[in-house]
Amino acid sequence: MSALVEAPEPHRLSIDEYHRLIASGGLDEDARVELIDGHIVDMSPKTPQHENAVSWLIDWLIGRLDQTRWQMRVSAPLTIGSSEPEPDIAIVERAAPTLEHPSRAPLVIEVALTSKDRDLRAKPALYAKAVAEYWVVDLERRRVVVHGDPADGAYNTIRDVVAGEELRACPVDLGAVPVASLFAAALPAA
C-alpha cells in the first residue's frame, strides 16, 4: 500500500536571497528572468514589434519628462515586497530613496505581445502595491490597458484606450500620448 505524498510548497526566495543568488553567479548574467512573488520566472522574448513600441515610447517620453523631478528606467527592476519585476519602462521620482532598486513608481509601462497573460493577469496585483498607474500596451489588440486608482492591492479603475482616444499619464504630466502613432511605430504596415 503506497501513501500519497503531497508535494511541498516551492521555496519562495526573499529579495536578499535573490540578490545573493545573482551576486554569486547562480544566475547567468544574460538570463532574462524576474522575481515575482518569490519565484524566479522567465521573461518573454523581445519581438521586433515589442522593441519598436518600447523605442517609440522612450523617444516620446524623453522630450516630455521633467528630468529634474522624474527619472525614466528602462528594463530595470523595481523592488516591491517579495518581487523584483523588470518593467519595460518605469518612471520614478529622482529623489526617491532606494535600497537596491526603487520601490515605488507613479507610472509603469509594459509592452505586451507574448507576455500579455502575465502582464494583464499577474502583474496588476503586484504593481497595485507600489505603482500609481500601470499601462499595458497590448500590441495584439491595439489598445493600451490603463490601470489606475490603486487600493488594497488592486486597481479600482481599468480602461482600454485605443487609437483616436486620449491617453494621459495622470500621476506624471506628459500631455496626451498619440496612441495611433505608437501602434503605427510598433506594427508598421507590411
Check pLDDT > 80 for residue 53. Answer: yes
* Angle separating helix axes 48-62 and 179-186, nearest 10 degrees: 140
What pLDDT is attached to residue 176? 92
Task: Give the count of alpha carbons within 13 A of 174, CB side only.
Answer: 25
What pLDDT is attached to residue 99? 63
Question: Using CA atoms, how far apart are residues 84 and 102, in angstroms rounded to an integer?
Answer: 10
Query: Which of 16-25, 98-107, 156-165 is least confident?
Result: 98-107
Check pLDDT > 70 for residue 98. Answer: no
Strands 131-138 and 105-112: parallel
Domains of the chain, earliest start first: 44-186 (3.90.1570.10)
- Predicted confidence (pLDDT) per residue in 32-44, tens digit: 999 999 999 999 8
The answer to whether the predicted template modeling score (pTM) of the entire model surpasses 0.85 is yes
